[in-house]
């Protein structure tokens, strides 16, 4: 037997062993596996029914913190475009000095073309925006 053909035989043996390893598991083993993974792969239908049956709750006003972390954080965390940073007392002092109503107004209307109207939260109520300004001001006082 040449060296080459014995190397081929080895390759064939390795391939056969690999194929055997991939062969389908015997029936008994399969159902055992199915049982073991069932709680993970399955959906608890009673929980789904409870979710489906739950009445739609009236939308509660979002907290200042919730609105801030969804809409305002993008600019006010980093100070993008000169936004006064959250918690930066120095940056906020001259703004706080204008009074809350001025801050509410610039939040509703936007400011200098860089602070967008309503801070991009177009479905925020005035009350939610006020709570958000209060939340940001409180962190910088
Ligand atoms: C796209 C970036 C951006 C987002 C998003 C944003 N702001 Fe601003 N904000 C700015 C910038 C920039 C300024 C500074 C504007 C200036 O003084 O020229 C500013 C200023 C302010 C001021 C001070 C206004 C004043 O009169 O001095 C308040 C209050 C404020 N933002 C509230 C908010 C709130 C509340 C949100 C989220 C609902 C928000 N901002 C989202 C960029 C942003």
Atom of ligand 1 minimally distant from the CA of 67: 38
Question: Is the CB of 131 within 6 Å of ligand 1?
Answer: no
- Rounded to whole angstroms, the Cα distance separating 126 from 118 reads 9
Tell me the best of 119, 121, 126, 129 to mutate to test the pocket of ligand 1, counting ligand atoms within 8 Å of each CB and taking the most: 119
Question: What does residue 95 show for φ and ψ, rounded to 5 degrees?
Answer: -80, -45
Rounded CA separation 105/126 (Å): 10
pLDDT given at position 29: 73
The string of pLDDT tens digits covering residues 20-65 is 555 565 666 777 766 776 666 555 666 556 656 666 666 799 999 9
User: Which of 130, 128, 14 is CA-nearest to residue 61?
Assistant: 128
**Greatest Cα-to-Cα distance within the chain, rounded to the nearest angstrom:** 96
Q: Which two tokens stand for residue 123?
A: 């479905």
Q: pLDDT value at position 62?
A: 97
Split at pLDDT 50, 70, 90, the class of 94 is: very high
Find the angle CA(110)-CA(90)-CA(82) to the nearest 5 degrees. Answer: 40
CATH class of 64-140: mainly alpha
CA pair distance 110, 129, nearest whole angstrom: 12
d(CA 59, CA 125): 12
pLDDT number for residue 32: 73
Span 100-134, pLDDT tens digits: 999 999 999 999 999 999 999 999 999 999 999 99
pLDDT of residue 59: 78
85 CB within 6 A, ligand 1: no
For residue 73, what are the CA distances in angstroms to 10, 41, 57, 59, 135?
A: 63, 37, 27, 22, 12
Please state the separation of Cα 67 from the chain's center in Å: 14
Selection from 6-10, 14-18, 20-24, 26-30 with the highest mean pLDDT: 26-30
Distance from the alpha carbon of residue 115 to the mean position of ligand 1, in angstroms: 4
In short, whether 115's Cβ falls inside 6 Å of ligand 1 is yes
The arithmetic mean of pLDDT across residues 6-22, rounded, is 57
- Determine if ligand 1 sits within 6 Å of the CB of residue 62: no
User: What tokens does 102 get?
Assistant: 């001025």
Closest atom of ligand 1 to 124 CA is: 38
Domain segments of the chain: what residues? 64-140
What mean pLDDT, rounded, does the chain reach?
Answer: 82
């Amino acid at each position: 037997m040449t060296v080459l053909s014995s190397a081929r035989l080895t390759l064939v043996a390795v391939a056969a062993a690999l194929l055997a390893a991939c062969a389908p598991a015997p029936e008994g083993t399969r159902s055992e596996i199915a049982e073991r993974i069932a709680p993970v792969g399955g959906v608890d239908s009673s929980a789904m029914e409870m979710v489906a049956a739950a009445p739609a709750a009236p939308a509660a006003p979002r907290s200042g913190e919730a609105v801030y972390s969804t809409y305002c954080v993008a600019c006010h965390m980093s100070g993008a475009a000169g936004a006064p940073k959250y918690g930066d007392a120095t940056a906020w002092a001259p703004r706080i000095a204008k009074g809350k109503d001025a801050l509410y107004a610039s939040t509703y209307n936007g400011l200098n073309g860089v602070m967008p109207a309503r801070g991009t939260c177009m479905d925020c109520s005035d009350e939610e925006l006020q709570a958000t300004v209060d939340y940001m001001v409180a962190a910088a006082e």
